[in-house]
Structure 1
Amino acid sequence: MNPGKNNPTEKTTEKPFVLSRTFNAPRELMWKAWTERERLMQWFGPKGFTMLTAKLDFRPGGTFHYCLQGPDGNKLWGKFVYREIVALEKIVWVNSFSDEAGGTTRHPMAATWPLEMLSTCTLTEKDGKTTLTIEWQPLNATEAEQKTFDSALEAGGMNQGWSGTFEQLAAYVEKH
């Protein structure tokens, strides 16, 4: 998705982070894993993190507001604001860190991490298996935020985080 086509005041990066993985699960189950609160709570987040609480209003303009607890006991709040939903195929949202009240906040460990990330999840099914592709890119980033994102992209840090999340999703769909 190129947000500039719909909203010329928005700015995204030239080189987004993209990660795909094929799961041994039908697309309908994968869709439910992304769109139902009880299911999201069982797998979403970096490996080793637990979701403590979540509120989900799954519709364009709706939000997913959640709290993750890391292995060290620290809590991280996050928020999705849904932009586009194409049933069983695509979800587009703006992702950010947040406070407990849902206000957008800076990354707790990286002050120059982009305040908002445009995220696109697509699902395609073939022979009972589903390929999930995540595209992640800074939205309206400052120069410093763009440099931080580009450095993380080159270092592979986002790949590690999303790969751990995908591992948890794979374990979830195998059980269901």
Structure 2
Amino acid sequence: MILDPKTDLSFTRTLAAPRQLLWECWTTPAHIKHFFVPRPHSVSSCEIDLRVGGRFNTTFNVEGNEMQNLGVYLEVIEGEKLVFTDAYSEGWKPAADPFMTAILEFADDGAGGTRYTATARHRSAEAKEQHEQMGFFDGWGTVATQLEDYAKSLVR
């Protein structure tokens, strides 16, 4: 994937958990609640219809405020890639003020772990800058660590 430095933010990290387990965590509502937002914030609800055009709806609790995020999947490649956006909600209804498209890529690292790449694509350089200032790298890095820790807790 070619990144546009004007509008894209991305990082890659090796996570000490199998790719298929990380995939399961990202595609199962009950798992999403354990890692998707940096603690102490939380996910109070999640709905997934894992198909192109299917819903990916989440509700966050951030400092006592409920924040609903409606979105859809744009691409689903089993075990390898998830692309979702808040630019549309289910039924391809356009959002009034979309923020970004997320691209998650999962690849075996050859040693039982996963090469995990998270990319956020924005409509404009200003939106990218806003997301970076909000703490993209710290926030999404924390989510990656929470994902890794949670996935490792599931391995028996």
Using structure 1 for the length normalisation, give the TM-score. 0.74
Is the contact made by 2:86 and 2:95 (CA closer than 8 Å) also made in structure 1?
Answer: no
* Shift of residue 150, structure 1, vs aligned partner: 2.7
Matched, 1:117 2:117: no
* Shift of residue 167, structure 1, vs aligned partner: 2.1
Gaps of 5+ in 2: none
Secondary structure at 2:74 match in 1: strand
> Whose radius of gyration is greater, 1 or 2?
1
> 1:15-164 alignment to 2 at 5 Å?
15-70=7-62, 72-95=63-86, 104=95, 106=97, 115-125=98-108, 126-139=110-123, 141=124, 146-150=125-129, 152-153=131-132, 155=133, 157-164=135-142
Is the contact made by 1:76 and 1:97 (CA closer than 8 Å) also made in structure 2?
Answer: no
Cα separation, 2, equivalents of 1:33 and 1:137: 22
Is the contact made by 1:27 and 1:124 (CA closer than 8 Å) also made in structure 2?
Answer: yes
Cα separation, 1, equivalents of 2:88 and 2:74: 17
Cα separation, 2, equivalents of 1:83 and 1:29: 21
Moved over 6 A (4+): none
Structure 2 CA distance for partners of 1:116 and 1:156, relative to 1, 3 Å: closer
Gaps of 5+ in 1: 3-11, 107-114
Using structure 2 for the length normalisation, give the TM-score. 0.82
Structure 2 CA distance for partners of 1:24 and 1:174, relative to 1, 3 Å: same
Structure 2 CA distance for partners of 1:148 and 1:173, relative to 1, 3 Å: same
* Shift of residue 162, structure 1, vs aligned partner: 0.6
Is the contact made by 2:76 and 2:82 (CA closer than 8 Å) also made in structure 1?
Answer: yes
Is the contact made by 1:13 and 1:138 (CA closer than 8 Å) also made in structure 2?
Answer: no
Amino acid aligned to 1:90: K
* Shift of residue 104, structure 1, vs aligned partner: 3.6
Q: Percent identity?
A: 24
Is the contact made by 1:47 and 1:167 (CA closer than 8 Å) also made in structure 2?
Answer: no
* Shift of residue 164, structure 1, vs aligned partner: 1.7
* Shift of residue 15, structure 1, vs aligned partner: 4.4
* Shift of residue 148, structure 1, vs aligned partner: 3.9
Over the residues paired in the alignment, what is the CA RMSD in angstroms? 2.6
